[in-house]
Structure 1
Amino acid sequence: MRKRVSAAVATGALALTGLAIPAAHAAPAEEEIKLSNIKVNGGKDVAIGTGNKKFTLTFDASHSSNIEANPSISAWKGSSGILLPDGFLRDQCKEVSATKSSCTATFNVNPQDYDIDNSEAGTWSTEVFISAQYPSSAYLDKSNIKSFKVLRAAKLTTNAAPEPIKKGKTLTVTGALTRANWDTFKYGGYTAQSVKLQFKKQGAATYTDVKTVKSDSRGNLKTTVKATVDGSYRYSFAGTSTTPAVNASGDAVNVT
Structure 2
Amino acid sequence: MRRRTTTVAAATAAAALSAALAVTVLALPAAGAAQGDSATTFVNIGVNHDLDYTVGVEATKKRVFSVSATVSDPSGVKSVSYELWHGEDRATADGVMAGAAQCHKINEFTSYCEALVTADPNVNLRSNALAGLWYMTPVAVDGAGNVTRGEGVYFARIRRQTSMSQTVVTPDPVKKGANITVKARMTVASWEQKKNVPLIGHQVLLQYRKGTSGPFVTLKKLKTDRDGWATSTVKATADGAYRYDFAGTSLTQPTPGSADYVDVK
Give the TM-score of the pair, scaled to structure 1: 0.79
2:243–2:258 CA contact under 8 A, matched in 1:
yes
* Aligned CA-pair RMSD: 2.0
**Higher Cα Rg: structure 1 or 2?**
1
Alignment of 1:226-237 (within 5 A): 226-237=235-246
What residue number does 1:32 align with?
Answer: 39
Structure 2 residue 159 is the aligned partner of structure 1 residue 151: yes
TM superposition shift of 1:250 = 1.3
- Give 3-state SS (helix, strand or coil) of 1:119's partner: helix
Q: Which residues of 2 match residues 7-156 of structure 1 at below 5 A?
A: 32-42=39-49, 43-44=51-52, 45-50=54-59, 51-68=61-78, 70-78=79-87, 80-85=94-99, 88=100, 92-133=102-143, 136-143=144-151, 146-156=154-164
Q: CA deviation at 1:203?
A: 4.1
The alpha-carbon distance between structure 1 residues 30 and 196, as it changes in their structure 2 partners (threshold 3 A), is closer
Question: How many residue pairs get matched?
Answer: 221
1:215 match: 224
Amino acid at match of 2:239: D
The equivalent of 1:245 in structure 2 is 254
Q: Which runs of 5+ in 2 are unaligned?
A: 1-35, 88-92
Quick one: percent identity of the two aligned structures? 29
Per-residue CA distance 1:108-156 (angstroms, 9 max, x = gap): 22111224301111110112220221xx354311355611211111112
1:183 aligns with 2:197: no
AA of the residue aligned to 1:36: V
Amino acid at match of 1:93: C
* TM-score (norm: length of structure 2): 0.77
Q: Which has the higher strand share?
A: 2
Quickly say closer, same or farther: Cα 1:187–1:31, change in 2 above 3 A: closer
CA distance in 2, matches of 1:229, 1:110: 46
